[in-house]
A and B are shown apart, each in its own frame.
Chain A
Amino acid sequence: MHRFIRNILIISSSIVVLHLILAQFANGSTDNFYSRFTSPKQNSLIIGTSRSAQGIHPEILDSILNLEKVNSIYNYSFSLNNSSYGEKYYNAIQKKINKESKNGIFIVTIDPWSISVDTTLNESEIDIESIFYSMKYYNSSPNYEYLIKKYKKGWGNILLKRIESNILSNNKNTIRKINGSYTYLRKDGLLEVYTRMDSAYASNNIKNKVKSYLKLVSKNKFSEFRFNYLKKTIKLLNDHGKVYLVRVPVHKSLLTIEDAFDPDFNIRIQTLANNMNIEYLDHSIYSDKYSYTDGNHLYIEDAKKFSINLSENIDEIK
């Protein structure tokens, strides 16, 4: 019996030690969210879904808006399923924001989906699948809580992804060919997505995205609950600096669906902006200017262009 217990303890403690070591390797290659749970508290933030996570380059805003290092902007956008406006995202923002911050810049991106809700869900069921659900720690590195609760693979995969990332980040064109797409979450929170962009592949992606958003049209509706949390979020951020409401451009076919889904969206947001005394910058009107990986997300090079345009727009009205 003692021999058995001893052997089990040797194996168990080896596994625990191995995991402690593996956690040290976690970084932007781990998954699309992990690094955002390890960064320190911030003075300026970009808030929203995957459109802004992939579409707004913080370093471009920092540079054009001449933000001091202490106020440099951090992309704290996630994805529609995780960071639609609501209680969970609100709490996560509250925990990420530096309480002392007073002169920050906050880009709050909005679209009809992020203030809509699945009609089949009760209010208590909203966001239970969110990445923030049951999370307590948002600023620790390594974030063991995140890795235990949210990381879906074995922790050995952290090292594997890191090795893959090191090899493939130097061969981005190759990875597009062999892996279809490759993502890396930068230290400033931007999610870099490298993917094939040949016309057949991109148009197929757009076709699939249109299909999935048409499903959303039949399932979702505008949500007072989410809209109130959007207001609450803006109110919170207003206490820490200047807030800009931004609509990120998307492919025309998706814009058409959005307009049909919520025809009053722009009026509603403009009214909100007026009431809260903030600016609403609707960049969806420039959707033809950019190319998209799947219609919903700006291609990385076009995201740079958009970030420049957005920064200049903010700079003008600042």
Chain B
Amino acid sequence: MLFNTIDFAIFLPIIFILYWFVINKNILRQNLLITISSYVFYGWWDWRFLSLIAFSTLVDYIVGNQLSITKNKNSRKLLLLTSLFINLGLLGFFKYYNFFLASFTDAFSFFGSSINSRSLDIILPVGISFYTFQTLSYTIDIYKNKINPSKDIISFAAFVSFFPQLVAGPIERAKNLLPQFYNKRTFEYHKAVDGMRQILWGLFKKIVIADNCAVFADQIFNNYSDYSGSTLILGAIFFAFQIYGDFSGYSDIAIGTARLFGFKLMQNFAFPYFSRDIAEFWRRWHISLSTWFRDYLYIPLGGSRGTNYQKIRNVFIIFLVSGFWHGPNWTFIIWGALNALYFLPIMLMKRNRVNTDTVAKDTLLPSINELLSMITTFFLTVIAWVFFRSESVNNGFEYLLGIIDQSVFTLPHLITPKLEMIYTLFCIAILLIFEWINREKEYALDVNNLSKFNRWSIYFTIILMIITFGVFTQNTFIYFQF
């Protein structure tokens, strides 16, 4: 079920009413309802893969509990490896089997010997990378004695399958989310309003920004050889806003929906396009995944400690794995490698934690230096997005070569219908204005401090913009494929 569909618009109020009016007195029933509704939510897409979630839940529940009663180090290690093997095995099979097979076949062909291989027609279960990482963190944290295992299978099943964030995150840590299932939720007006606001803002980002930008980004990326350098830059910028609107929009809707049910999920995007360097960008973009890799991969590898060689190795590993997490395609790996290259110099110069506060704090406008840093960082990410969006690495390089051309100094070719392109640019400007004004808050439509009249004016303006400029083709979210 997609957030931007009629199905979800019907599903959500039904669950909301049952949750708060029918079974609100009993925590077990609340958790049971969340689990059942999450399975319905997921099964709406393909019920066959519900067994994968159920299996994953059961394995990690049992492993977690066994870990808590097993004192022997080797047995504990074996339990952890069992969980890792099963979870990563399922992920590897569904997501990477054909990629590895094709890569091996290509490698053998390159050295002159051909091998017969049979790729499988595998459907990728939606959100498998997200819930796999969530359950992995649970088991690893128990193994490291950071948390206690859940003794309540219903709460645990609800934690694994919690529908707002099941298919595209935020990837929650058990430490934050699981205890919330142990306590009975009571309705709080300000939390519910906050949730609705964030849902509204998420819909604006997805339906207005992402889906409109997609029209132009697709047209330019699919016919890149026909366009001037300046148009190609415009296409890459459209994609940058498409992916931001799409993914952060999803996160906003997920966080807002969870809030409606009394849960607090972690912030997943913190205005990343206002970052002043690439390290700051990665502290603000897909925070739940970045911190996951930081805690479970980067730090165990040694992080930024050790020799320069070790530091460089660690940075490359984390960014390449991050790229590979997105999918079995070399374009994602190049995207990760480029980000590693951007990150390395500032890390080696120990300048990766210079910009940890909010840009232009307590002032209305940024300084010239801050503005230039933001623009530079934005364009570096835009270059990397070119590979993320391209069909192949070759296409990505050709796209970039198309930019390095004297036509880059001409005016971009406005794609037909031009008026719609102008409307889209106008909507992007609105997005940036809201984000800039509220950049110190958790999301841009957090307008709780305004007067009632101003708040309602803003709500209706955003609703009118969605109704007027929104695309209602039930476009799926980009991150579902990951």
Contacts and interface: CB of A to CB of B under 8 A. Distances in A.
Given A4-B192, A11-B459, A154 B418 contact: no
Interface string B436-472: 0000000000000000000000011001101111111
Given A1-B189, A4-B192, A179 B418 contact: yes
A2 to B, nearest CB: 10
Interface residues of A, number: 25
B471 A153 contact: yes
A11 B460 CA distance: 8
Interface of A is mostly: helix
Given A4-B193, A8-B196, A154 B470 contact: yes
A151 B471 CA distance: 9
Interface stretch (A37-45, A64-72, A137-145, A156-164): A156-164
A156 B473 CA distance: 15
A161 to B, nearest CB: 10
Interface string A178-199: 1111000000000000000000
A154 B417 contact: no
A164 B416 CA distance: 15
Interface residue SS majority, chain B = helix
18 contacts: A7-B193, A11-B459, A15-B467, A152-B471, A152-B473, A153-B471, A153-B472, A154-B467, A154-B469, A154-B470, A154-B472, A155-B467, A156-B467, A157-B469, A164-B419, A178-B418, A180-B416, A181-B417
Nearest to B200: A11
Contacts of B468: 154, 156-157, 159-160
Contacts of A156: 464, 467-469
A19 B418 CA distance: 26
Given A3-B189, A151-B472, A180 B466 contact: no
Contacts of A178: 418-419
B409 interface: no
B20 interface: yes
Given A1-B187, A4-B192, A11-B459, A154 B466 contact: yes
Nearest to A18: B467
A29 to B, nearest CB: 12
Contacts, number: 57
B472 A1 contact: no
Contacts of A1: 20, 187, 189
Given A152-B471, A153-B470, 12 more contacts: A3-B189, A18-B467, A19-B467, A154-B207, A156-B464, A159-B468, A160-B468, A178-B418, A179-B416, A179-B417, A180-B416, A181-B416
Interface in B314-362: none
A282 B207 CA distance: 46
Contacts of B416: 179-181
Contacts of A159: 468
Interface string B410-438: 00001011110000000000000000000
A59 B414 CA distance: 35
Contact of A180 (B196, B417, B459): B417
A150 to B, nearest CB: 10
A1 B190 CA distance: 10
A21 B29 CA distance: 42
B467 A180 contact: no
Contacts of A15: 463, 467
Contacts of B469: 153-154, 156-157
A149 to B, nearest CB: 10
A4 B463 contact: no
Contacts of B418: 178-180
Nearest to A2: B189
Interface in A31-67: none
Interface in B1-54: 20
A29 B471 CA distance: 17
